[in-house]
Structure 1
Amino acid sequence: MTKLLKYTILITPQEPRGYLVTVPELPGCFTEGDTIEESFKMASDAIDSYLSVLEQENLPIPEERKTIISTIELNRKIPA
């Protein structure tokens, strides 16, 4: 049986270059890419590998969760 699985990925720029990709629904699943496009490809490969390990270990495949992504602003005094 084939099922379309969807997972949220977070792509974060890294210094001095490249991008870190994390998958909140899959703890420990992360990768990186030199470009945004490569990051998407690497994310797909990382997720597929992660799910393959879960299948081999007879562990459940996590379902997509509705993730809320937002920004919070705070004014905070920072020591000099």
Structure 2
Amino acid sequence: MMQYKVSIIIEKDEDGYYASCPDLPGCQSQGDSLEEITENIQEAVELYLETLSPEEKQKLLSKEISTMTLEVQVA
């Protein structure tokens, strides 16, 4: 069994949490808590990866994605 690292983006709004994986187009999930969304997106990623060939996994998971937070001032 291979292990992979994937980037996950988690957003919170009035309806709960939403997570997506930019490495895997269309791979996303929702949850009511941070714990739930973490479990849900992990399951979604694992299921998504099971559908891919080794070549597809290599192509999709060879990208490097960085995230950052910026503070900006708006007049």
User: In 1, Cα distance between the equivalents of 2:62 and 2:31?
Assistant: 23
Seq. identity, % = 29
Q: Which amino acid aligns with 1:28?
A: G
Q: Provide runs of 4+ in structure 1 moved above 3 Å.
A: 71-77
Cα deviation per residue 1:39-77 (whole Å; 9 max; x = unaligned)?
11001110011112224xx76113253221123456668
> Which runs of 5 or more residues in structure 1 are unaligned?
none
The CA RMSD over aligned residues, in Å, is 2.1
1:67 matches 2:59: no
Q: Give the corresponding residue for 1:4.
A: 3
Q: How does 1:41-60 map to 2 (within 5 A)?
A: 41-55=39-53, 60=56
How many residue pairs align between the two structures?
Answer: 73
Give the alignment's TM-score, normalised by structure 1. 0.73
Aligned residue number for residue 24 of structure 2 = 26
Greater C-alpha radius of gyration: 1
Structure 2 segments unaligned to the other structure (5+ residues): none
Question: 3-state DSSP class of the match of 1:11?
Answer: strand
Answer whether contact 1:6 1:64 (CA < 8 A) is retained.
no
